[in-house]
Chain A
Amino acid sequence: MAEEIKGTSNKVLEVDLSSQTFDVYNITKEERANYIGAKGLGLKLIYDRIKPGSDPLGEDNIMAVMPGVLMGTNAVCSGRFHAVAKSPLTGIFNTSSCGGPFGMQLKTAGWDGLILKGRASKHTVLRIDKNGAVFENGEGFWGLDTEKTQEAVCRDKKESALVIGPAGENGVRYANIASGHRFLGRGGLGAVMGSKNLKAVTVKGGEYKIVPVNKKKFNKYKKRGQKYINQNEMSSYFMREYGTNANVNLNNKAGILPVNNFRTGRHDDAHKISGQTIKKLHDIKYSTCKPCSILCGHKGNYKGKTLSVPEFETTALMGSNLKIFDTEKISDFNDICSKLGMDTISAGGTIAWIMEAGEKGLYETDLKFGSSEGVTDLLYDIAYSRGKGAEAALGSRELSGRYGGKDFAMHVKGMEMAAYDPRGAYGHGLAYAVANRGACHLSAYVVALEVYFGLLKADSPRAKADFVKFFEDLTCGINALQTCQFTMYSYTLEPPLSKYTPAFVLNFLMMNIPLLAISLIDFSLYSKLFSSVTGIKMSMWKFRKAGERIHMLERYMNTREGASGKDDVLPERFLKEGLESDDEKKVVPLGKMLSQYYKKRGYDSEGIPLASKLKNLGIV
């Protein structure tokens, strides 16, 4: 009979790999109320422990793996958890989200978080259970791919692992960490684990049952969330039927699909790799985070093998952006990157740079747009750091620094660009430029408002600063809670006020009186879920302020590392070159939006958070 944990255990397992010891840290009520959990608490715990200027691949880097308060309660879409560490790709802090089974096992083993410090002297596997951690020799697993490692290292069904593949072992700057068939994808966290000589972290869960403090209210809110998800077209139809690849046709129509290293935004063959076509070709079935009711994850039959259907970002960055429109090839690349333990967005972005640099004679390569020849070999070379793969493993910022071609190295702060061209969605351009971890499309997903829902005028800079700020705050809150970001469509658009107001009225309001429109957005479901689980009173406004606090903390931590307004830029291509598919040849008017954004955020003109603002939020 599993013991009950009411609300949250607030226990964090703090492991020192250098000394092979562990400690238990107790999250205070104040920390919980101010930083909520997952991403927020992860950042706070690291902030309290790390020295500024630490080498991301050195022993002073600290990694936190944190579930939120909803994990284990069976709330809808509550199967995701976060990891935070300093990124070897960008040199600043990186937070990454994952829907794999590790989070649930960690939580039901009684832990609200895991902190990894120091560096093990030899290859290690860390085994965690409800009592603590045991350090085991990881030599036998070193060299195995992520799939084989998980099979080998988990001894029974209740044990789940975070593992790295050869890419993480060899310090590929964008190596990822696998849990099940999902990943802590961006920012090179796999290399951080690899630098700590940590091949795998296993945890044996199922020892505790997580029970919300206020069960009745929690059930009510859980039901409401489910209702909203089932009502909303994006979550119940597009994501559920076609997965994230539903965005292929939507982006192609709007002319914001990356093609040919972002030189054009549309291609006549794009429909061949759309979610709709994938469904027809590959007999897809659900394969999702647990628990989930949106069901965006799928697996399919690819030439007889059952493989994960690649996510939209992979389909775009390792497909259309390389002018490859073959679902089999893209799923192949996806499978290889999954097994090697590598981020497909950064790998795809780096390869696109290589192809264009090759075209322009800046870099020697046989890779060409439109051909998959050589790509697989390069992916292996990157993972094993051999031949040309060794420098490709450093990312497009490093490569363009060495060989030129900076104007078409599509990254922000060193992290490669995601699959939404901001020249067709200015707000998203601002979001990319100011996102804390780099070119992150999820930091403030305003492209949905600009392009999918038509609620904001895509090619206008007006009101964008307000919405980027709001959604950054809300998203930080959601990532701290933690629940899946895809609930945002349904939870904010389904409440009666948004649902029944005609689109053109909403559009007018949002474009012209953004602050009023924002104040009318009802996202109380998130704060209500938090309160009912933890028993800590949390209003919608407090929840949003917590989100703001988390965002500012992250910004502050980054500025301590040397980041500033000079890094809040977009690749030259977005600022100077129009899309080939756009007759008007629009470029992103970043400057205007940026200065507005800084003002609203409380940054000075250099992009550094004002001391008064930090004090106000209780960060310093």
Chain B
Amino acid sequence: MLPSYYEFYNPVKIISGSKALENVAYELGLLNAKRPLVITDKGVEKAGLMDVFMNSFKSSDVEIGPVFSDVPPDSSNATVNKIAKIYNEYKCDSLIAVGGGSPIDTAKGVNILVTENSDDLAEFEGADRLTHPLKPFVVIPTTAGTGSETTLVAVIYNEEKKVKMEFISGYLLPDLAVLDPRMTETMPAKITAATGMDALTHAVEAYTCLQKNPVSDAYAFSAIKLIRANLLKAVKDGKDKAARLSMANAATMSGISFSNSMVGGVHALGHSTGAVAKVPHGVAMSVFLPHGLEYNFEKIKDSLAELLLPFSGPDVYSATPAEKRAEKLIEDIREFQKELKDAAGLPYTLKDAGVTEDMFGKIAMGAVDDGALMMNPEEMSHDDAMKILKKAF
């Protein structure tokens, strides 16, 4: 059944596969971009991925502009301001982000400043504050997780006010997302598992929350299928190029999915847990996913039943009676969590993730104030959140 109204927007060109990086130069030409500023972080550099990137431009006609690799793990406005100055100084005309959520969000922030010719991000905070297209922007993800290459959100930490600034605009979407298997090869097992669960959560929440629509459902469905089939392989053998590429695709599709069908309670709890207990995002998603689904169960069981097909395969799907499919999905997700714990040490309880009981109150308070909770099919009060936290401990 269609929602009475929905909106879907995804203009990102996706190029995926062998030697995808080598095509970036051509794509930059199509975007009329001659001197891109490259934003990445030290982790990417250390992993040798910047060498792969640089080498891919050999025999092309593109001049790589300054490469800024000092991006902190959480994008901050101070860094954004710094990079924007460099962009203007070196007269760059486009941006390339190589890395995970942080460099990508940072690049989005820089893009705002250099397009609008401003030095104060706060002016553009919120939704739909931007009114024209930004500079050409290419994203080369090195994790198979956040899906930031296809989301219209950027979160940047304001160091003076000590709050997270959120920017939501269709104009933030990159022009091009490059999925090259070489770029996600070096992710260690635990991070692969965590970012993979992040992608799974994005897809499942996009499929079950209030903003659900048939187009985002299609992406979510595909993503889930790829994740189930490939995540464990990628965790167990990082060099499995096919698995890595599949995961990268899954993450991108999850990103498209949740960018157009906002996530819900699992993310609200996860964000808050990350802020209070410093639990990495992917780990928090993994911990809360089954609990969040159980909490929403009555309102989402039909959707959950449908997801049994991509998650557990056609055999399990047809063998399970229709009214039991939703439960079976959650059971199978729990099984999957256990497998990931064994293979990569990815925790699936709050205790294992390093959260202590005295943090619950603060986490619950943060969760009920998180915008994502608005799209959760069930209302969640502070007490409800506390109950979930206790269960997830």
Contacts and interface: CB of A to CB of B under 8 A. Distances in A.
Do A and B have CB atoms closer than 8 angstroms in the complex? yes
Interface of B: 356-358, 360-362, 364-365, 382, 386
Contacts of A493: none
Interface string A289-309: 000000000000111100000
A301 B362 contact: no
Contacts of A55: none
A301 B365 contact: no
B45 to A, nearest CB: 38
B358 A280 contact: no
A303 B364 contact: no
Interface string A262-306: 000000000000000100111100000000000000000111100
Nearest to A302: B358
16 contacts: A280-B364, A280-B365, A280-B382, A281-B361, A281-B362, A281-B365, A282-B358, A282-B361, A283-B357, A283-B358, A283-B361, A283-B386, A301-B358, A302-B358, A303-B358, A304-B358
A279 B386 CA distance: 12
Contacts of A303: 358
A282 B361 CA distance: 6
Nearest to B368: A280
A335 B160 CA distance: 33
Q: Which 5 A-B pairs have the closest CB atoms?
A: A281-B361, A301-B358, A280-B361, A303-B358, A304-B358
Given A281-B361, A283-B360, 11 more contacts: A277-B365, A280-B364, A280-B365, A283-B358, A283-B386, A301-B358, A302-B358, A303-B358, A304-B356, A304-B357, A304-B358
A301 B382 CA distance: 17
Nearest to B357: A301
B76 to A, nearest CB: 24
Most chain A beta-carbon contacts within 10 A, residue among B356, B357, B361, B382: B361
Most chain B beta-carbon contacts within 10 A, residue among A280, A301, A303: A280
A563 B382 CA distance: 53
A282 B365 CA distance: 11
Contacts of B356: 304
A33 B363 CA distance: 56
A280 B357 CA distance: 13
Nearest to A277: B365
A301 B356 CA distance: 11
A304 B359 CA distance: 9
Contacts of B365: 277, 280-281
Contacts of A280: 361, 364-365, 382
Contacts of B357: 283, 301, 304
A335 to B, nearest CB: 15
A302 B359 CA distance: 9
A282 to B, nearest CB: 6
Contacts of A283: 357-358, 360-361, 386
Contacts of A302: 358
Most chain A beta-carbon contacts within 10 A, residue among B356, B357, B358: B358
A8 B267 CA distance: 63
A596 B213 CA distance: 74
B234 to A, nearest CB: 38
A280 B361 CA distance: 5
